[in-house]
Amino acid sequence: MNPVRQGDYAARFEVAPGDNWAKGPIRCLVANHNTHEREGDDHYFAYSMYFPKRPADNTIWKLDGQSDVYSVDPDTSAAPHAVVTEEGGLKYRLLTGPAHWNGSTWTGWSYYEPGIPLLATVPVGRWIGIVVHIRFAHSNGGIVEVWCRTEDEGWPREPQIRRLGIPTLQWIPGFENRVFGYRNDPRISSDIYTSSLYVDLGLDPGIDSIEKTEVVYLDGYRRDTTLASVMAEFP
C-alpha cells in the first residue's frame, strides 16, 4: 500500500536504470509553468516527502527560471531555489543575484550557496515536512527561510535556514554594468532580469543514467502568503 501523509492520495515519482529523455538528463517531474513567482512576491511553500529507501543525489523541489535568463548561456540554467538530497542528507540550494562574468564566460551566480544543510541524514520510511519562505527580489531585499521536521516531531522554534537582505532572483548584467570588476558580454546590451519562476516537483538526478531505482512520495503541496496558513495543513 502506498504511503499517504494526508487526504487520500500521495504522488509517487520513480526513475530507474534504462530510463532516458531525448532532451537531456533523465527525470520524473510534475511542473506548473504558470505559478509566476516574481519580483515583489512574498510566498510560503509547504509539502511532505517520503523516501522508502535511502536516496541518491536528486533534486526534489525547485523554483526554476523562465528562458529569459537561462537561454543566455548554458551556465546560467541552474534553478535559483531547490531542495535536494545529497551525500545522504537533505540540503537547500540557493543560486541567485547577478551572474558572474570572468572575462570570457558566465561562471555561475554571485550569491552561491549550493548545499545548505537541513538534515544530516534523510530518514527512511518517515514523512519529512518542509516549509520554504521566500521574498522575491533581484536586489538585496530578499529573504529565504526554511523549516524542516521529521514525522511526529515538533517544528523548530526558528527556521533551520535564514538568509536576510540577499538577492533571491537571478539576473544577467548587461555590457554597461560590471560584476566583480569585469566588463560583461558585449552581446548583452542591457541587464536581463528574471521575469518569473515556476515550480518543479519529483526526481531529477541531473545525470543521463542511473544504476539503482529511485522513488519518492510527495504529498500536500501548497503555496500561500502566511506561515500560519501553510502550517495549518500539516497533519
CA distance 163 to 51: 28
pLDDT per position as a tens digit, 78-126: 999 999 999 999 999 999 999 988 888 888 898 999 999 999 999 999 9
What per-residue confidence (pLDDT) applies to 1? 54
Instruction: Dump pLDDT digits (tens) for 38-54.
Output: 999 999 999 999 999 99
Model-level pTM? 0.95
- pLDDT classification of 141: cutoffs 50, 70, 90: very high
CA distance 11 to 9: 7
In this structure, which CATH number among 3.40.50.720, 3.90.1150.10, 1.25.40.10, 2.60.120.200 belongs to the domain 16-231? 2.60.120.200
pLDDT at residue 216, rounded to an integer: 98
Grid look-up 534523510 returns 122
CA distance 78 to 69: 10
- Tens of pLDDT, residues 67-79: 999 888 888 889 9
Distance CA 82, CA 74 (A): 18
